[in-house]
Structure 1
Amino acid sequence: MKILMVCLGNICRSPLAHGIMKHLVEQEGLDWQIDSAGTGDWHVGQQPDKRSIAVAKKYGVDIATQRAQCFRSDFFERYDHIFVMDDNNFRDVMALAKSEEDKAKVRMFLSQDTVPDPYFDEHQFEPVYQMIDKRCRELIRELRK
């Protein structure tokens, strides 16, 4: 299974989701591939935000080797599931879908809410980490069925 996590710049939320999910998948011994991307291209090639790196490291998750990439329409062919962090990401990704099959791969990461972007509030990194960690654990259970 190939899973893509998507946020705006691919430096805060989606790298955390990528790193947490990859860490949990490895612990479970699952042969899943996890990646992340952003809908914007401002940070392509850069490491995740240092605050995301720090909060992940606090919980034994290393995301420092990740590099930001921008979502492209050919990602629909590469991934089985595409999880987006908020409504804007959802609209941007869906706008690149070429078929109903593409659209069916895209879901909100949180089914009832959006993942807040902690970029402008350093106090949000811990709650965002916890929110993403909880949802990744739920997703593993859901996707294993």
Structure 2
Amino acid sequence: MKRILFVCLGNICRSPAADGIMQHIVRQRGLGGDLVIDSAGTYAGHTGELPDARMRRAASRRGYDLTHRARQIREEDFAGFDMIVVMDDMNYENVHRLAPSREDARKIFRMREFFRRHPGWSYVPDPYYEGAEGFELVLDMLEDGCEGILEYLGN
């Protein structure tokens, strides 16, 4: 069983969307017993909140139900997860500083490492300050990245 934690800044747009997309794909493929998926943010200011309403609407149109409640990543997450997938370089730096050891730091991946259809992107942009197109682009990128993660894991 592999355990994957998706991480962005506030855990209200990108990482809960990645969480919801991966949960959806896992259910569709019957891999529920093989993967444990969660998400968190590097910032605690949105703790307990649902994902951003705009992201929930955009995701819902694609069949994803985003019900995760925001939480902040903790040092203990390194013991609880095999992969910690971050959305951008700032997330990477913040999560890397939190890693209790070099071995734990090797669990950190950038979502861009799993893109197959978005090779020109070096990060998943934060759609919080964007219009509807920004949320659609992020969902496209996360669908691509989640499929890439499953390929990486051999599923």
TM-score where L is the length of structure 1: 0.96
In angstroms, what is the RMSD of aligned CA positions? 1.0
Structure 1 stretches of at least 4 aligned residues deviating more than 2 Å after TM superposition? none
SS of the equivalent of 2:103 reads helix
Q: Give the letter for the 2:18 counterpart.
A: A
Render the CA deviation track for 1:28-76: whole Å, top value 9, x for unaligned.
111211100000001000000001101110011100x210000110000
Q: 1:47 aligns with which of 25, 44, 50?
A: 50
Q: 1:34 aligns with which of 29, 37, 41?
A: 37
Distance 1:28 1:104 in 2: 28
Distance 1:27 1:46 in 2: 27
Distance 1:41 1:85 in 2: 17
TM-score where L is the length of structure 2: 0.90
Distance 1:2 1:45 in 2: 22
Distance 1:125 1:79 in 2: 27
C-alpha displacement of 1:101: 1.4
Stretches of structure 1 that go unaligned for 5 or more consecutive residues are: none
- Pair 1:121-2:118 in alignment: no
Q: Give the letter for the 1:4 counterpart.
A: L
Q: Give the letter for the 1:140 counterpart.
A: L
C-alpha displacement of 1:134: 1.1
C-alpha displacement of 1:93: 0.4
Render the CA deviation track for 1:93-127: whole Å, top value 9, x for unaligned.
00011112110100101126100000001230011
- Pair 1:140-2:142 in alignment: no
C-alpha displacement of 1:131: 0.8
* Identity within the alignment, %: 45
Q: Give the letter for the 1:110 counterpart.
A: R
Render the CA deviation track for 1:6-45: whole Å, top value 9, x for unaligned.
0000000001100001110111111211100000001000
1:60-139 correspondence to structure 2 within 5 Å: 60-63=63-66, 65-111=67-113, 113-122=122-131, 123-139=133-149
